[in-house]
Amino acid sequence: MRVKCERDQILKGISFCQGVISTRTTLPILSYVLMKAEKNTLSLYATDLEVGVETKIDAEIVEEGSITLPGKKMLELIREFPSGIITLSSENNLVTIRNENIWIKMISLPQEEFPAFPEVKGREIKVNGKILKKMIKKTSFSVSHEETRYMLNGIYTTVFEKLISMVSTDGRRLSLITQELENIVPTEVEAILPLKACEQLTKIMEDDEVLIVWGDKQIKFTQPGVSLVTRIIEGEFPDYKSVIPKSFKGEGHIDKTKFQESIRRAYILTKEKALSVRLSLQEGKMMISTRVPDQGESNEEMEIEYSGEAMDIAFDPEYLLDVLRVLDCEKIFFGVNGPEDPALIKPIDGESYIYVVMPMKI
């Protein structure tokens, strides 16, 4: 194989691949990137057997062929090359990477060991990339990281008619967002998408249209020049709708930015000992307080629009900050039912997004 391409182009391609390369694996080939040169295109592949990425870059193909190179090492090396044309050439299992003044040789593993990039067949759905990334951003932070609860280790995604929904939960909080599609999907499709796949989508996809091929075991996301294939997490996602409160004993409209700043100040005191922040709600105001033994306390009063029962309720400040960081609105709705019942946060501006969070013991 002999290929010439721009340094910035190959750096971008390897960066896309690096996100899925396995760092802890018993199969050495999974830490490598497969490069295939044919016609006027250099294709790069990477996989950890759960998520795979394929990206294509323009190149001058002097001689067609395939090589594998260690992804992390390759990324670090190409970063240190100056801008300009880089030549990749191979002879047997030795690969030379060079420009006018630099020659680097690396050993390639047999390309036959590299897993085949899967072909996915199924229902085709088109989604705006900007919307898809926004939906992932607003649900990914509440995915469970407990391996024993594997069905919660991803984002449950459903598409039906003109709506696409994403929901995630770790058992203590839940995020749900629904957006409209341009085209009707007559038959409902559903899947639990692994968190790793979702996070990579936000890094490699542009804001343009994304073609989704929804298979039985795998799903493929494609834009010009890049594709991501992910396996579907098997199992049944729990009935999340039953935990979403429908009515409230107390309701408030709160300035999002001021609330976020107040919680952040309280969190500085509590974060080392994972303590809660207490919210004391009554008509017209809210007191935000925390007390840390042997360190100190904080108290802060906010004017809010609140109606209903006066109550004290405590939360993990990280759980509040996580949702406040992803909300783009000026004011939020805050619905509560008591110190042991789930609370609901959502934007007032009408975006179809809700966040349910369980309180902590006072």
Mean per-residue pLDDT, 2-6: 95
Domain boundary residue among 219, 242, 265?
242
In this predicted structure, the answer to whether residue 23 has a pLDDT above a threshold of 80 is: no
Q: Are residues 132 and 206 in the same domain?
A: yes
Return the pLDDT at 15. 95
pLDDT tens digits for range 99-157: 988 999 999 999 999 999 999 999 999 999 999 999 999 999 999 999 888 999 999 99
Residue ranges of the alpha helices (H) in the chain?
A: 7-18, 71-79, 129-137, 195-204, 256-270, 317-326
- Is residue 362 assigned to a domain? no
Task: State how many domains the chain has.
Answer: 3
Paired residues of 146 in beta bridges? none
pLDDT tens digits for range 208-255: 999 999 999 999 999 999 999 999 999 999 999 999 999 999 999 999
Domain boundary residue among 220, 242, 264?
242
DSSP string, 193-223: EEHHHHHHHHHH--SSEEEEEE-SSEEEEEE
Return the pLDDT at 270. 85
Q: Are residues 261 and 335 in the same domain?
A: yes
Return the pLDDT at 225. 94
Q: Tell me the helices (H) and strands (E) count for the chain, helix number first.
A: 6, 24
Domain boundary residue among 216, 242, 268?
242
For residue 62, the enclosing domain spans: 2-113
- Is residue 310 assigned to a domain? yes
Residue 26 CA, distance from chain mean position: 26
Return the pLDDT at 98. 94
Q: Are residues 176 and 195 in the same domain?
A: yes
Q: Are residues 43 and 13 in the same domain?
A: yes
CATH, residue 46: 3.10.150.10
Confidence of residue 193 (pLDDT cuts 50, 70, 90): very high
Confidence of residue 295 (pLDDT cuts 50, 70, 90): confident
Q: Are residues 185 and 279 in the same domain?
A: no
Return the pLDDT at 183. 84
Mean pLDDT computed over every residue of the chain: 94
Mean per-residue pLDDT, 312-325: 97
C-alpha distances (whole Å) from 150 to each of 144, 146, 153, 171, 192 are 8, 7, 5, 12, 10
- Looking at the whole model, is its pTM more than 0.75? yes
Mean per-residue pLDDT, 322-342: 96
pLDDT tens digits for range 55-75: 999 999 999 999 999 999 999
Q: Are residues 55 and 84 in the same domain?
A: yes
Mean per-residue pLDDT, 15-36: 91
Return the pLDDT at 185. 86
Return the pLDDT at 184. 86
